Chain A
Amino acid sequence: MLDALFFRRWLTATAAVVDREAERLTELDSPIGDADHGSNLQRGFRAVAAVLEKEVPDTPGAVLTLAGRQLISTVGGASGPLYGTLLRRTGKDLGDAPEVGPTRFAEALRSGVDAVAALGGAAPGDKTMLDALIPGVDALDGPSGSFGAAREAALHGALATTPLQARKGRASYLGERSIGHQDPGAASSALLFEALAETAESTETPESTETAESTDGSRG
């Protein structure tokens, strides 16, 4: 089962991965965006990590809603309300449950992804973060789903945005000139799944086999 601590560790790990990759995200955002995606997300997730050190929400839902709200307040670009909505809607869907199984988490994450699609008015193939989020959550959902598979699927989805023409956001103004560049939002979405897989793997230590069973989808 996944508890509040697991979700705090996921978001702290996301902050670390975003720190590590911020320069690359901003480089991806230079040719087709306004060259601030890495620094914006870095500011947002650092604020998330900071608030999670100060406040200690005791349910998965509360951790995610707090983090989502923090992203909306601090990012300053479109990725703030989008990632904020993703986490907050996922958190609200989880409600007050003290622990959730991976299957339940995948369902909630899907409602978060749906909310992102509704907020941005984007569809798969528009060269947006959805092109990584949807394959990621698809891979997580279902009986054989795993965090490792979700990481692979989201990464693959992000890389597959390169040949697409952007139809949403700042990059869409470039028309055909957006082709040939990976979407920075999809790249950062893949990082969320990377941090999730890292967190699950570090939870699966030999002395806690019970947790390992629950994170590979055998329960929940």
Chain B
Amino acid sequence: MADGPLVGIVLVSHSGPVAEAVAALATGLAGGGNTAPVAAAGGTADGGLGTSAELISAAASRVDGGAGVAVLTDLGSAVLTVKALIAEGDELPDGTRLVDAPFVEGAVAAVVSASAGADLASVEAAATEAYTYRKV
């Protein structure tokens, strides 16, 4: 099922470097082959800490290949901004979904499963499942 377009992943953090680093980590762990498109949307447009609706919209357009876009977020305004953009209706590609998942672990699960050709619902399930992995 890896012939069609892959689900795109957008990583939204309060911090540009955090979003970039998690994107690199998840892409690196997804291994070789055809990796799903991943875009980081961290911090504000001027490089500060916060959330930028513009960066999120641009990132979602970049990774949208028609198979849907899974958005993972860290805290507060990142979550609220994505929810508000989805409620807006026309700010994000059709089939964009906010995924309820831990940021780092969920990003790895999402990118690995999307790269294997999973559909949006399966990518979401894989990322959400990362919550159930207890460390202690």
**Same assembly:** yes
Question: A18-26, A77-85, A104-112, A141-149: which lies at the B interface?
Answer: A77-85
B51 touches A169 (CB 8 A): no
Interface of B: prevailing SS: helix
CA distance A69 to B54 in the complex (A): 11
CA distance A81 to B83 in the complex (A): 8
Contacts of A82 in B (CB 8 A): 80
Contact of A69 among B48, B51, B76, B88 (CB under 8 A): B88
A77 touches B51 (CB 8 A): yes
Contact of B77 among A73, A80, A85, A88 (CB under 8 A): A80
Contacts of B44 in A (CB 8 A): 76
Q: A80-B77, A119-B80 are in contact. Are A85 and B87 (CB under 8 A)?
A: yes
B102 at the interface (CB under 8 A from A): no
B76 touches A72 (CB 8 A): no
Contact code string A163-200 (vs B, CB < 8 Å = 1, else 0): 00000011000000000000000000000000000000
Nearest CB of chain B from residue A75's CB, rounded to whole Å = 8
CA distance A139 to B84 in the complex (A): 27
B5 at the interface (CB under 8 A from A): no
A95 at the interface (CB under 8 A from B): no
Contact of A120 among B49, B52, B80 (CB under 8 A): B80
Contact code string B69-103 (vs A, CB < 8 Å = 1, else 0): 00000011100110111011000000000000000
B53 at the interface (CB under 8 A from A): yes
B65 at the interface (CB under 8 A from A): no
Q: How many residues of A contact B (CB 8 A)?
A: 20
Residues of A33-88 at the interface with B, using a CB-CB cut-off of 8 Å, are 34, 36, 40, 69, 72-73, 76-82, 84-85, 88
Nearest CB of chain B from residue A211's CB, rounded to whole Å = 33
CA distance A203 to B117 in the complex (A): 61
Most buried by B among A80, A81, A84: A81
Contacts of A169 in B (CB 8 A): 76
A76 touches B84 (CB 8 A): no
CA distance A205 to B4 in the complex (A): 66
CA distance A132 to B82 in the complex (A): 25
A78 touches B80 (CB 8 A): yes
A78 touches B48 (CB 8 A): no
Nearest CB of chain A from residue B41's CB, rounded to whole Å = 12
B17 at the interface (CB under 8 A from A): no
B78: nearest chain-A partner, CB-CB: A78
Among all A-B residue pairs, the 10 with the closest Cβ atoms: A76-B50, A81-B84, A78-B77, A81-B80, A76-B44, A73-B53, A81-B81, A78-B76, A77-B77, A72-B84
Further contacts, 15 of them, CB under 8 A, given A72-B53, A78-B76, A119-B80: A40-B50, A69-B88, A72-B85, A72-B88, A76-B44, A76-B52, A77-B51, A78-B80, A79-B77, A80-B77, A80-B81, A81-B77, A81-B84, A84-B84, A85-B87
| A-B contacts, 10 listed (Cβ < 8 Å) | A34-B49, A72-B85, A72-B88, A73-B53, A76-B50, A77-B77, A80-B80, A84-B84, A120-B80, A169-B76
